[in-house]
Structures are given as structure tokens and as C-alpha cells.
Amino acid sequence: MRRLLTPGWLAGHALMVVAVAVCLALGWWQAGRAAEGNTLSWAYTFEWPLFAVFTVLIWFREVRLALRKGRADAVSPDVEPVVERPRPVITRRVRSTTAEADEAADPQLAAYNEYLAWLSEHPEARPGDYPAKEHR
């Protein structure tokens, strides 16, 4: 609990109390305007207190996280840390006979693969530099 009494946390506590007070005061002000006949103010009458509740919930969450972090820092040294291992990469091999059979059955595929191989061999070349007539 001492870590919640540092200057930064004390300023945060004060800011939370001021924010809740402002939200509730604005809700009260909107209720007065709604009673005078401003129908839009009815929505704000209920909205401002919800903002105050939201502020309190977020503040409690931050306090719990700070307290939990302090407990995690005090873990006993006899506990071994969990080491995450990389997941295996699953690959699948393509049989070359299948690829050759596909190219033999489809001349366009064979020409395209030849074009890609040429581009791979000539990385500085542009696609328009390919010597075949079909790809110009």
C-alpha cells in the first residue's frame, strides 16, 4: 500500500476525486436545466454520473494493476521463469515430378515459369527487357 502513497499516486488520487466531483456537479447542473424545460439536458443528466462511475472504475483498475505489479516483482527466486519456445514452422514439399507434369500439360504455365526464372536471374532488368516475344 505504500506505493500508492507516493507523490505521483497522491496527485492521481486527488485528480480522480476532482474529476468525479466535476462530473457529478455537471450532472446536477444538467438536471436543473432539464427541470426548466430543456429536454436535451435529460440525457446529460444521466450521462455525467455515468462518466463519474467510469472514472472510478478505471481508477480502481489502475490501483489493482499497480498492486499486482508489486506482487509480481516479489516472486520467490526458486521459481523458474517460463521460457517460451518458438512454434515449429510447418512446411510442405512439392514433388518436382508434379510441377514438371503441370508444365508439360500447360505450355502457358511453362512459358510463365521461364519468364519468372529469367527475371530472377536478371534482378536489375525490367519486365519489358525479357527477350521472348509474347511478354512484350
pLDDT at residue 134 above 80?
Answer: no
* CA-to-CA separations, 36 to 26, 31, 43, 90, in angstroms, rounded: 15, 9, 14, 70
pLDDT at residue 99 above 80?
Answer: no
User: What number of other Cβ atoms are within 10 A of residue 61's Cβ?
Assistant: 10
User: What confidence score (pLDDT) does residue 72 get?
Assistant: 63
49 band by pLDDT with thresholds 50, 70 and 90: very high
Q: Can you tell me whether residue 19 is helix, strand or coil? A: helix
Q: What is the mean pLDDT of residues 112-124?
A: 86
pLDDT at residue 136 above 50?
Answer: no
User: What confidence score (pLDDT) does residue 122 get?
Assistant: 87
User: What confidence score (pLDDT) does residue 11 get?
Assistant: 92
